[in-house]
C-alpha cells in the first residue's frame, strides 16, 4: 500500500545465505551451528600467522546450482578478492569475498503476489564469501568475548536489482528465494538463526522521476515480517523527510524489532575504504562447461516448475499450487500424501491439496506449528483422503478422524476400525434404519408427502444420527426417497 | 671431536654421518657450542633450541645406525624465524610476535624434520622480512662475519651470517625481493630462490604472498640441491603450490655447462655497478665460457621499472597480510587498552617497527580509494611486462647471468634513514620475484676490502636443476665458495 | 600525486596505526619520496596489458568437503593475550 501516492518506493535486497557444506569454506573445520565457543576453529579460520586457505569444492558446486536455479550466467572465470577492514570477529583483518569477478551474474526470479501476474526481479550477482565470527557483549563485565566458530562458514551473497516497489514485493522475493535455496538443499533458510540474512536498500522518488533517490541500508532484519515492516517504516520516514524539506542521508540503519523503529548506526569515525584487491593466496577459479552441465542435469525440480506441474498434470488451482510449493517441506508432504491416494487407485490431487491446505494448514497455523512438526504424517493424511475417496468414510467422519490423528497421532485406518467408524453401505441395514425412522416420525412423513420435500434433510439427519454418522449419506437419501415414494 | 665443523659442507657431513665416522649428536653439539660462542656478537640466531636439537640428533643417530638414513638425516641446520615451528618461539623478528609459540608446523620445517634434519634454532631476520640489511629486527642487528661493522644483507641476514660463520651446516631463508640471494652474495655463500610455488608457503609467515618463496642457504650448490630435494613439491595446504613432479636435483647436478646459452642482460651492466663487482663478473663470464657455455647478449628493457613495481605490490599485499596482528588471538597486546579501538591502534603502533609501519602505510595508500588504479593496478600491469621480458629472453637462452647486488656489504647504519637508497639495493633481485623465476646467487670474487661478491644465475620456471648444475660446474672450477671469514 | 599530513592520518587510520603528531611529518617526507619513485611507471603504456596478480598461472585447486579438524580450542586460546571461558577476551565493544 503506497503510503503517499506521489512517491514510488525502490528496493534492492542483499541476501547472505549460509551454505550447508560439511566443512568450512577454506579449512577442514566443521560447519555446524550451535557448538561450544571456539571449539570449531583452526589456525586457518582463526587467522593465525603463516597459514593458507584452500577452497571447498562443494561450496562452488552449491554456488553453481543456485546460479542455474535463478537462470543466471555462470562465469567460467571468477576471482576471490580481499575486502580489508578491522573488526574483532574478522580474524584475518580482511574478508575473502568475490568483487569484480563474481561466479554468477544476470539472474532473475519471479515472485508470486496475490491477484497479480508473476513479476520478474533481476538478480545482479551471486558471489561466494566467508562469514565472520561473533562478538558477545551482554552479561560480561568490562569486556566483550569473541567466538570464532562461525568464521569460515561459506556464504553466498545474492544481490538483487532495485526492481522491487513495495514491502510486499520484498517479502515475496525473499519467500521465493528461500524456497529455491531450500529446494536446492544448499541452505536451510533459517532467518532467526541467521543462516538466511537480508539487508534492504531502500529509497523513494517521485513517480516518473528517472533518478533514484538517496538510499539507506537497513540491517538486523531477522524475519520476512521484519523486513517488510522495516521497509514500510523507512519509506514513511524518507517521505516525511522530503516533504518537510529535509534530505535523506545515505546511511546504515538498524531495525529494532521490539520498538518497531529503525535507528541510524552511529556513523563510524571513518568512511569505509575496503581496499579490495585479488586474493594472492588463491588462484583464479576456472570452471569447465562440462562441469556446469553436469550440475545442471542433476538440478532438482524447482518451485516454479513444480507449481506448473501441479496445475498442468494434477489440475490444481494456481493458488493451491503456489501454496504447496512455497516451502520444500510442504511440497514433499503433499506429494507423499498424494502418492498414497493414487496408490489406493483414486487419483484426486485436488482432494489431497484441499486437505493439506485447508484442514492441515488450518490446524497447524492455529497451533503455531510448521509442516515439519505436523503430528499427522504425510502417509497418514494420504490414507485418510484415500478412505474418503474409496467411500470407506464420509467427509464428516474424516474430520473427526483427522482431529483424533492430530491430537493423538495414529493410522486413520486403525482409528476407523477401532472406533467402528466405517461407513455403512450395506443397503439392508440402511433400509432397516430408514424404516425405523419413518415409523417413528409419521407427521414429517405426512408433510413430505403433502409436498414439503425439504423435510427430507431432517429425515436424513435422523437416520445419520441413528447410525452415528456411519451410514453412507447418498444411500440414505436414495432409500428414503424410494420409501417415501 | 670437531673443533671446526664449519669447514665441512653439508654433503661432506652427510657422507661422514652415513659412514658413521661422526655422530649427529657430536656434530650438533659442536655446532651448538660454536653458535653459543659466536651468537652474542654476530646475533645470527633469535632462538637456539639446544634441547630440541640434541633430541633430534639422537633420533637421527638411531636411524643412521640402522642404515635408515637419508641425505639430510642428522644434519644440523638453522631456520629463518618466520617458519612456524610447533612448540618453538616464532617471532618473525617482531615485537608483535615476541611471545608467539605456534601450535602448528610449517610444511617446509615439517618436511625437513621428516627428512631427518636437526633444527638448531631460529635465525634472525629483518622484521617480517622487510629490509635489505637485517637492521630492522626487534632482536637487534646481525653483523656480517666478514666485517662486523657491516650489514649481512637482508632479510635473511641471520640465515646468511650463520652459514658464513659456520653456525650451522646450512640454513633456510625466504626471498620476496632478493632476501635469500642478496644476503648470500654479501656473506659469500650460496642462496637459492626456487620458482614461486615450487616450495610450499604453508606455515611461512607471509610478507607478500604472491612473491614469497623459501629456499636453501648453503656453502655450495650441491648442498642447496640436497636441501631443495627435501623442501620442494606440491602441498595440498597451499593453493599456490605447483603440482608438478620434483626432479632428482642431485642426479642432474653434473649436467655441466657445455653448449648451454647464458644470456647477459645489458640493463644489469648499464650503470650503478661498482667497479669491483663489474670486474669480478667479467671474470666469471670468462670462466663460464671456458666451461663450455655460450654467452648471448639479451635485453630486459623493463628492468628499471622493477623497484617501483615491487614497492607498490609487496607493501600492498603486506598491509593486508599484517592486518591479523591485532592483539586479540596471539602475540603482543598493548597494556591496558581503553577500548577496542585503542587496542588495535596501540598494539600495532607499539608492536611493529618503523620499516614495517612504513610499508603498511605505503601498501594501505596504494590500495585506497582513488589511488588503486594509478598505483596498484598500474604496477600489476607492469609486472606482466616484466614477466614477458623474461619470457622473451628465455626463448633465446637457457640461463641468465647477472650481478646479485650493485655493490658489496655497506656499513651498519649507513642507509637506515634513507628508505629509498635501501630499496635500490634490491635492484638486481626483485625482477626475478615479480616474474616468479628460480635464481641462485653464488660467490664469484671479493672486492678490495676482502668483502664477498655474488652473481646470479636465473632460470626458466621450474628449472632449478638447470641453475644448480650451472652453479655446481662453476664451483667445481673455482674456489670462491670455499673461503670463510676469519672469526 | 602528493602526500600531505591529512593523507598520512587518513591512511594511518585505515591501517589502525597510532602515529604521534610529531612523526606525521617524517611519514609525509618518506612516503612522498617513495611514491616519487613510483611515478616513473606512468611513462609505460599499459592500456591493453592484463594485470598480473600471481607469479605463476595455476588453476584453483579445491579440497573435498570433509571435516578433518577436531577441537583446537585449548591450543589456540593458549596463544591469546587474554581469554575467558573459551572466548578471546577484548575490551568492551560498543556497537
Ligand atoms: Mg558480503
Ligand atoms: Zn578452521
pLDDT on residue C95: 59
Band of pLDDT at residue A115, cut at 50, 70 and 90: confident
Catalytic (active site) residue B241: no
Query: Cα dist. A90→A95, A197, A428 in Å?
Result: 7, 18, 80
The CA A40 to ligand 2 mean position distance, Å, reads 7
Partner residue opposite B380 with nearest CB, options C1, C53, C92: C53
Do residues A216 and A251 make contact, with C-beta atoms less than 8 angstroms apart? yes
Which chain B residue lies closest to A144 (C-alpha atoms)?
B340
Q: Which residue of C has its CA nearest to A91?
A: C88
Please tell me if residue A136 touches chain C, with a CB cutoff of 8 Å: yes
Residue of C nearest to B243 (CA): C58
Cα first-last separation, chain C: 36
Strand order in the sheet with A73-74: A73-74, A104-111, A119-130, A154-160, A7-18, A196-206, A216-221, A252-256, A261-264
Question: Ligand 1 centroid vs A98 CA: distance in angstroms?
Answer: 9
Q: Decide if pLDDT at A443 tops 90.
A: no
Mean pLDDT of A77-104: 97
- Among the partner-chain residues B305, B357, B362, the one whose CB lies closest to the CB of C40 is B305
The whole-angstrom separation of Cα A175 and Cα A228 is: 12
Q: b or e along A166-197 (b: 16 or more beta carbons within 10 Å of the residue's beta carbon)?
A: bbbbbbbbbbbbbbbbbbbebbbbebeeebbb
Measured at the alpha carbon of residue B314, what is the angle toward residues B388 and B453, in degrees to the nearest 5?
Answer: 75
Catalytic site includes residue B80: yes
Distance from CA of A122 to the nearest CA of C (A): 29
Taking 80 as the threshold, does the pLDDT of residue A422 lie above it? Answer: no
List pLDDT tens digits, range B7-65. Answer: 899 999 999 999 999 999 999 999 999 999 999 999 999 999 999 999 999 999 999 99
Give the Å distance between the CA of B105 and the centre of ligand 2. Answer: 15
Any idea which ligand is nearest the CA of C63?
2
Q: Which ligand is nearest to the CA of A131?
A: 1
What pLDDT shows up at residue C61? 96
Q: Which residues pair with A89 in a beta bridge?
A: none
Give chain C's largest Cα–Cα span.
Answer: 58
Taking CA–CA distances from A56, the nearest residue in chain B reads B239
Burial string for C19-36 (b: 16+ CB within 10 Å, else e) reads beeeebeebbebbeebbe
Our CA-based measurement puts residue B308 at a distance from the nearest CA of chain C, in whole angstroms, of: 5
Q: Is A43 on the interface with B (CB under 8 A)?
A: yes
Angle between helices A289-297 and A57-69 (to 10 degrees): 70
Nearest to B367 among A275, A281, A282 (CB): A275
Cβ distance B2 to B24 under 8 Å?
no
Mutate to test the interface with A, among C13, C63, C78, C94 (most CBs of A within 10 A): C63
Question: Does the structure show a pLDDT above 90 at B272?
Answer: no
Q: C52, B383 in Cβ contact below 8 A?
A: yes
Protein residues placing their CB within 5 Å of the ion ligand 2: A 27, 29, 42, 44-45
Residue in chain C lying closest to B334 (CA)? C81
Q: What is the dihedral of CA B88, B89, B90, B92, to 10 degrees?
A: -150
Output the pLDDT for position A427.
Answer: 74
pLDDT per position as a tens digit, A473-485: 778 888 888 888 7
Distance CA B310, CA B315 (A): 8
- 3-state DSSP: chain B helix, strand, coil percent, rounded to 5? 45, 15, 40
CA of A129 to the centre of ligand 1 (A): 7
Across B279-334, the runs of DSSP E, i.e. the strands, are: 294-298
Task: Look at residue A415 in the predicted model and tell me its pLDDT.
Answer: 84
Out of A52-61, A183-192, B313-322, pick the least confident.
Answer: A183-192
User: Shortest Cα distance from A202 to chain B (angstroms)?
Assistant: 25
Q: In percent, how much of chain A has pLDDT > 90? A: 66
By C-alpha distance, the chain C residue nearest A78 is C60
- Look at residue A246 in the predicted model and tell me its pLDDT: 93
A36: pLDDT confidence band, cut at 50, 70 and 90?
very high
How far is CA B54 from each of CA B17, B169, B449, rounded to the nearest angstrom?
Answer: 15, 15, 39
B14, B80, B122, B137: the active-site residue: B80
**pLDDT, tens only, B130-169:** 999 999 999 999 999 999 999 999 999 999 999 999 999 9
- Which of A192-196, A393-397, B82-86, B122-126 shows the lowest per-residue confidence on average (mean pLDDT)? A393-397
pLDDT of residue A267: 58
Active-site residue, selected from the candidate residues B132, B155, B159, B484: B155
Examine the residue annotation and report whether B369 is marked as an active-site residue of this protein. no
- Supply the pLDDT for residue A268: 52
Rounded distance between C-alpha atoms, residue A445 and residue A436, angstroms: 12
> Which residues of chain A lie closer than 8 angstroms to B367, CB-CB?
84, 275-277
Give, to the nearest 10 degrees, the angle between helix A328-343 and helix A303-314. Answer: 30
Distance from residue A107's CA to the centre of ligand 1 (Å): 18
| Domains with residue ranges and CATH for chain A | 7-295 (no CATH), 301-418 (no CATH), 427-484 (1.10.10.410)
H or E segment to which residue A202 belongs: strand A196-206
Contact residues, chain C, for B308 at CB < 8 Å: 37-41
In 3D space, the residue among A386, A389, A376, A334 whose CA is nearest the CA of residue A356 turns out to be A334
B372 touches chain A (CB under 8 A): yes
Pick B203's closest partner by Cβ from A51, A86, A93.
A51
Does B436 sit within 8 Å of C75, measured CB to CB?
no
- Ion ligand 1: residue ranges with CB closer than 5 A: A 157
A425/A432: higher pLDDT: A432
Nearest to A280 among C53, C59, C76 (CB): C53
Per-residue pLDDT, A2: 47
* C-alpha distances out from residue A384 to A378, A421, B218, Å: 10, 12, 84
A448 has pLDDT over 90: no
User: Cα–Cα distance between A81 and A279 in angstroms, integer?
Assistant: 4
Residue B311's alpha-carbon distances to B194, B304, B377, in angstroms, are 21, 13, 13
- The pLDDT score that the predictor gives to residue A3 is 59
Question: A50, B237: Cβ pair inside 8 Å?
Answer: no
B453 touches chain A (CB under 8 A): no
Identify the residue whose cell numbers are 617513495.
C34
Residue B368 preceded by cis peptide, ω within 30: no
Distance in Å, CA B107 to ligand 2 centroid: 17
Bridge partners of residue A201, in order along the sequence: A12, A217
| Record: contact A54-C66, CB cut-off 8 A | no
Q: Which of residues 4-33 of C touch B (CB under 8 A)?
A: 7-8, 10-12, 14-19, 27, 30-31, 33
Q: What distance in Å separates the CA atoms of residue A404 and residue A1, rounded to the nearest whole number?
A: 42
CA B109/CA B199 separation, integer angstroms: 11
pLDDT of residue B23: 97
Residue A270: predicted pLDDT: 53
pLDDT of the residue at A1: 46
How many beta carbons lie within 10 A of that of residue A432, not counting itself?
A: 12
> In angstroms, what separates the C-alpha of C78 from chain B's closest C-alpha?
8
Sequence-separated (6 or more) residues with CB below 8 Å from residue B240: A52, A280, A281, A282, A283, B196, B197, B201, B209, B210, C54, C56, C58
The string of pLDDT tens digits covering residues A252-262 is 999 999 999 99
pLDDT of residue B424: 87
DSSP conformation class of B217: E
Nearest residue in C to A19, CA atom? C65
User: Is A423 a residue whose pLDDT tops 80?
Assistant: no
Q: What is the pLDDT of residues B168-179, one digit of tens each?
A: 999 999 999 999
Q: Return the bridge partners of B408, or none.
A: none
CA B283–ligand 1 middle distance (angstroms)? 59
Which residues on B lie below 8 Å from C1 (Cβ)?
Answer: 371, 374
A343-369 core/surface letters (b: 16 or more CB in 10 A; e: else): ebebebbebbbebbbebbbebbeeeee
- pLDDT, one tens digit per residue, over A154-203 is 999 999 999 999 999 999 999 999 999 999 999 999 998 899 999 999 99
Cα–Cα distance list, A351 to A19, A346, A360 (Å): 37, 10, 12
Tell me the per-residue pLDDT of B190-224, one tens digit each, with 9 for 90 and over.
999 999 999 999 999 999 999 999 999 999 999 99
pLDDT in tens, A2-21: 457 789 999 999 999 999 99
Q: Is pLDDT of B231 > 90?
A: yes
Answer whether residue A269 shows pLDDT above 50: no
Mean pLDDT of chain A: 91
Banded pLDDT at A343 (limits 50, 70, 90): confident
Contacts of A86 in chain B (CB under 8 A): 323, 326, 344
pLDDT beyond 80 at A266: no
* C-alpha A266 to ligand 1 mean position (Å): 20
* 378-417 in chain B: CB under 8 A from chain A: none
Chain B residues with beta carbon closer than 8 angstroms to that of C94: 339
Amino acid at each position: 500500500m503506497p503510503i503517499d501516492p506521489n512517491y514510488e518506493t525502490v528496493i534492492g535486497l542483499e541476501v547472505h545465505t549460509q551454505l550447508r557444506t560439511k566443512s568450512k569454506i577454506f579449512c577442514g573445520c566443521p560447519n555446524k551451528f550451535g557448538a561450544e565457543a571456539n571449539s570449531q576453529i583452526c589456525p586457518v579460520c582463526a587467522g593465525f600467522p603463516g597459514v593458507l586457505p584452500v577452497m571447498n569444492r562443494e561450496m562452488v558446486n552449491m554456488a553453481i546450482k543456485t546460479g542455474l536455479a535463478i537462470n543466471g550466467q555462470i562465469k567460467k572465470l571468477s576471482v576471490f578478492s580481499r575486502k580489508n577492514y578491522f573488526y574483532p570477529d574478522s580474524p584475518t583483518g580482511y574478508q575473502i569475498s568475490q568483487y569484480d569477478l563474481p561466479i554468477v551474474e544476470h539472474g532473475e526470479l519471479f515472485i508470486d503476489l496475490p491477484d497479480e501476474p508473476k513479476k520478474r526481479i533481476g538478480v545482479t550477482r551471486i558471489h561466494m564469501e566467508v562469514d565472520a565470527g561473533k562478538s558477545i557483549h551482554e552479561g560480561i563485565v568490562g569486556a566483550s568475548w569473541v567466538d570464532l566458530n562461525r568464521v569460515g562458514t561459506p556464504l553466498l551473497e545474492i544481490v538483487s536489482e532495485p526492481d522491487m516497489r513495495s514491502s510486499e514485493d520484498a517479502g515475496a522475493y525473499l519467500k521465493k528465494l528461500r524456497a529455491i535455496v531450500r529446494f536446492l538443499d544448499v541452505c536451510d533458510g533459517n532467518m532467526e538463526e541467521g543462516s538466511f540474512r537480508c539487508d534492504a536498500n531502500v529509497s523513494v522518488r517521485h513517480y516518473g522521476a528517472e533518478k533514484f533517490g538517496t538510499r539507506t541500508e537497513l540491517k538486523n532484519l531477522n524475519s520476512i515480517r521484519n523486513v517488510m515492516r522495516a521497509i514500510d517504516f523507512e519509506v514513511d520516514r524518507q517521505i516525511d523527510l522530503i516533504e518537510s524539506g529535509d534530505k535523506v542521508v545515505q546511511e546504515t540503519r538498524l531495525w529494532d524489532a521490539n520498538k518497531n523503529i529503525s535507528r541510524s548506526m552511529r556513523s563510524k569515525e571513518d568512511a569505509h575504504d575496503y581496499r579490495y584487491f585479488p586474493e594472492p593466496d588463491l588462484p583464479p577459479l576456472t570452471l569447465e562447461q562440462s562441469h556446469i552441465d553436469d550440475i545442471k542435469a542433476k538440478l532438482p525440480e524447482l518451485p516454479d516448475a513444480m507449481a506448473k506441474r501441479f496445475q498442468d498434470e494434477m489440475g490444481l488451482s494456481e493458488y493451491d499450487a503456489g501454496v504447496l510449493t512455497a516451502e520444500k517441506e510442504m511440497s514433499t508432504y503433499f506429494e507423499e500424501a498424494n502418492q498414497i491416494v493414487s496408490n489406493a487407485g483414486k487419483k484426486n490431487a485436488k482432494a489431497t491439496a484441499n486437505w493439506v491446505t485447508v484442514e492441515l494448514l488450518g490446524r497447524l497455523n492455529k497451533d503455531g506449528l510448521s509442516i515439519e512438526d505436523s503430528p499427522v504424517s504425510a502417509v497418514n493424511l494420504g490414507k485418510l483422503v484415500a478412505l474418503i475417496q474409496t467411500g470407506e468414510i464420509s467427509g464428516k467422519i474424516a474430520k473427526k478422524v483427522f482431529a483424533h490423528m492430530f491430537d493423538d497421532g495414529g493410522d486413520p485406518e486403525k482409528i476407523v476400525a477401532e472406533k467402528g467408524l466405517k461407513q455403512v453401505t450395506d443397503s439392508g441395514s440402511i433400509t432397516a434404519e430408514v424404516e425405523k425412522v419413518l415409523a417413528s416420525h409419521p407427521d414429517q412423513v405426512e408433510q413430505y408427502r403433502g409436498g414439503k420435500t425439504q423435510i427430507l434433510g431432517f429425515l436424513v439427519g435422523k437416520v445419520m444420527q441413528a447410525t452415528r454418522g456411519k451410514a453412507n449419506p447418498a444411500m440414505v437419501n436414495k432409500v428414503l426417497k424410494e420409501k417415501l415414494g | 671431536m670437531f673443533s671446526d665443523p664449519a669447514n665441512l659442507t653439508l654433503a661432506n657431513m652427510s657422507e661422514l654421518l652415513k659412514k658413521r665416522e661422526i655422530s649427529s649428536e657430536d656434530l650438533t653439539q659442536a655446532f651448538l657450542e660454536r653458535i653459543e660462542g659466536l651468537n652474542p656478537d654476530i646475533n645470527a640466531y633469535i632462538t637456539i633450541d639446544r634441547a630440541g636439537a640434541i633430541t633430534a640428533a639422537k633420533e637421527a643417530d638411531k636411524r643412521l645406525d640402522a642404515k635408515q638414513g637419508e641425505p639430510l638425516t642428522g644434519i644440523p641446520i638453522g631456520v629463518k624465524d618466520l617458519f612456524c615451528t610447533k612448540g618453538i618461539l616464532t617471532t618473525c623478528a617482531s615485537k608483535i610476535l615476541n611471545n608467539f609459540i605456534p601450535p602448528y608446523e610449517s610444511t617446509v620445517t615439517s618436511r625437513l624434520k621428516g627428512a631427518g634434519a636437526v633444527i638448531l634454532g631460529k635465525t634472525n631476520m629483518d622484521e617480517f622480512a622487510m629490509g635489505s640489511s637485517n637492521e630492522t629486527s626487534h632482536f637487534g642487528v646481525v653483523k656480517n662475519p666478514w666485517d662486523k661493522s657491516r650489514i649481512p644483507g637482508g632479510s635473511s641476514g641471520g640465515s646468511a651470517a650463520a652459514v658464513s660463520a659456520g653456525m650451522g651446516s646450512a640454513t633456510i631463508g625466504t626471498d620476496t625481493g632478493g632476501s635469500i640471494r642478496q644476503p648470500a652474495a654479501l656473506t659469500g655463500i650460496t642462496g637459492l630462490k626456487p620458482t614461486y610455488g615450487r616450495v610450499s608457503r604453508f606455515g611461512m609467515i607471509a610478507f607478500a604472498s604472491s612473491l614469497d618463496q623459501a629456499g636453501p642457504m648453503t656453502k655450495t650448490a650441491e648442498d642447496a640441491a640436497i636441501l631443495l630435494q627435501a623442501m620442494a613439491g606440491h602441498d595440498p595446504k597451499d593453493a599456490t603450490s605447483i603440482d608438478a613432479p620434483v626432479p632428482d636435483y642431485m642426479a642432474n647436478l653434473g649436467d655441466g655447462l657445455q653448449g648451454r646459452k647464458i644470456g647477459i642482460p645489458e640493463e644489469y651492466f648499464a650503470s650503478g655497478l661498482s667497479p669491483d663487482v663489474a670486474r669480478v663478473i667479467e671474470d666469471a663470464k670468462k670462466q663460464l665460457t671456458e666451461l663450455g657455455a655460450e654467452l648471448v647478449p639479451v635485453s630486459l628493457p623493463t628492468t628499471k621499472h622493477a623497484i617501483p613495481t615491487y614497492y607498490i605490490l609487496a607493501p600492498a599485499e603486506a598491509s593486508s597480510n599484517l592486518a591479523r596482528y591485532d592483539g586479540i588471538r596471539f602475540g603482543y597486546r598493548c597494556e591496558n587498552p581503553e577500548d577496542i579501538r585503542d587496542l588495535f591502534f596501540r598494539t600495532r603502533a607499539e608492536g611493529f617497527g618503523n620499516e614495517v609501519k612504513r610499508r603498511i602505510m605505503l601498501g594501505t595508500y596504494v590500495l585506497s580509494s582513488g589511488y588503486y588504479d594509478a598505483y596498484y593496478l598500474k604496477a600489476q600491469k607492469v609486472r606482466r611486462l616484466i614477466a614477458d621480458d623474461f619470457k622473451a629472453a628465455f626463448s633465446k637462452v637457457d640461463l641468465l647471468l647477472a650481478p646479485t647486488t650493485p655493490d658489496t656489504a655497506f656499513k651498519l647504519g649507513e642507509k637506515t634513514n634513507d628508505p629509498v637508497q635501501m630499496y635500490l639495493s634490491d635492484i638486481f633481485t626483485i625482477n626475478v620475484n615479480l616474474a616468479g623465476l628460480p635464481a641462485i646467487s653464488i660467490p664469484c670474487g671479493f672486492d678490495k676490502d676482502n668483502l664477498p661478491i655474488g652473481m646470479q644465475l636465473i632460470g626458466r620456471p621450474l628449472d632449478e636443476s638447470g641453475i644448480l648444475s650451472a652453479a655446481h660446474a662453476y664451483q667445481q672450477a673455482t674456489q670462491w665458495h670455499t673461503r670463510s671469514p676469519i672469526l | 600525486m602528493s602526500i600531505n599530513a591529512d593523507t598520512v592520518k587518513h591512511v594511518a587510520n585505515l591501517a589502525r596505526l597510532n602515529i604521534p603528531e610529531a612523526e606525521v611529518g617524517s611519514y609525509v617526507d618518506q612516503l612522498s619520496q617513495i611514491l616519487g619513485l613510483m611515478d616513473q611507471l606512468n611513462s609505460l603504456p599499459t592500456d591493453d596489458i592484463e594485470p598480473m596478480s600471481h607469479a605463476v598461472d595455476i588453476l584453483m585447486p579445491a579440497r573435498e568437503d570433509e571435516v578433518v579438524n577436531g577441537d583446537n580450542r585449548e591450543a589456540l586460546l593458549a596463544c591469546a593475550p587474554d581469554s575467558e571461558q573459551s572466548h578471546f577476551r577484548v575490551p568492551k565493544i560498543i556497537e
